[in-house]
């Protein structure tokens, strides 16, 4: 599993950094992202919908957003 700490970054940087990491990953691997930008929830949902990657988990705690994205083919 790869990890991306995107805390403090604002749209579109968390998604752009995630996309770069996902390109280097194998199909089926999971990327775990931590972000603080409230727009990240919508951005990652839209990104996964457009790219075909699977958003397998999304939650928030104490101002931080957590995402798990499974790379698709």
Catalytic residues: 11
Helix axes 40-51, 13-24, angle to 10 degrees: 40
Buried b (16+ CB within 10 A) or exposed e, 20-56: ebbeebeeeeebebebbbeebeebbeebbeeeebeee
């Amino acid at each position: 599993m790869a990890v991306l700490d995107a805390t403090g970054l604002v749209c579109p940087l968390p998604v752009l950094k995630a996309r770069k990491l996902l390109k280097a990953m194998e199909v089926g691997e999971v990327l775990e992202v931590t972000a603080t930008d409230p727009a990240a929830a919508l951005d990652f949902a839209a990104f996964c919908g457009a790219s075909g990657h699977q958003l397998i988990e999304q939650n928030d705690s104490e101002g931080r957003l957590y995402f798990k994205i499974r790379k698709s083919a």
